[in-house]
Structure 1
């Protein structure tokens, strides 16, 4: 083989072949890596009950145990002007509708002034001893900013609203979807009416499945 000008050059056939093989192997490995990372990539939870959160004692727990029930998720606080009224009305609702089909789920938050300054275990103990609440408490969380609790972010993203104060309430249906939310000053009677209606739907559906 001759180059331009008539000078002979060494054949590059073997080098080209080796380069082709190397390039093919590189592309193949790259494709396998992409497929592997795609399959191993953590799947974003599809609903509220798919999340894991910390309980008041710091232990990771799955919200899956509440699937099939209605849940009223509330960002609570111990030293808010609404604390006493809210805890008493939430406990009454929790007791009235029972835990077979419904639960109040309390998530303390300390991002609204000095309304929640204690540890998670203290917050739970205070609420139980002072107001006699029996509904589940979870670890103190953040619902705004870069350290937002993912489970609570799911709620706020679902309704495109972030709480402006303590005791916002999010109604989650048996499938883990948010169906309603209420601000702090919403009369509990209005909330009770809609929660009770959802609980009745759950009961009727279960009876029909028997």
Structure 2
């Protein structure tokens, strides 16, 4: 899902702020939850699009082709303490997305960047805003406290990048806007999680039972 800015703006590049990741696996959802918060609290000129890219892979290619600048927000395994944030520019973006792939979504997004580059339609400016995850194996879980604490600071980093790199100022919304569907918005998703007795935490219990039977 995406929210474009709704205030007129000219003379600035078309900017895509893209959160990627999988909200089903705890801190994997950091990028999605961060752009969700950004879109809820801030509005931008119509040259800025804030988008939940989830795990869509090559389906994101048309959105990149329309952008002059791309800010990717994701959980990145830097091998650093959980919650550590880093910002990378240019050629370092695809390099870090591929350094320690945590899941298929990162492989998929590498393919998006490679395809855009091959076609000569990759955004000229690439920026990666990432945070080191703490937990990726809690199926159906929300962000850990350590990583959740970095959502607001990361929103501030994005606002600063937009202002300093592109001359774009955000404006606080009077009322929150929804980027995600209500059922998967962070508060509803995390608050409505079944107990561990009611829902498996590490995957589909049917598959796990079959694997266990095969190993017996």
Alignment TM-score, normalising by the size of structure 1: 0.32
Q: As a proportion of its length, which structure holds more helix?
A: 1
Q: As a proportion of its length, which structure holds more strand?
A: 2
Q: Which structure has more RCO (C-alpha within 8 Å, separation ≥ 6)?
A: 2
* Greater Cα radius of gyration, structure 1 or 2: 1
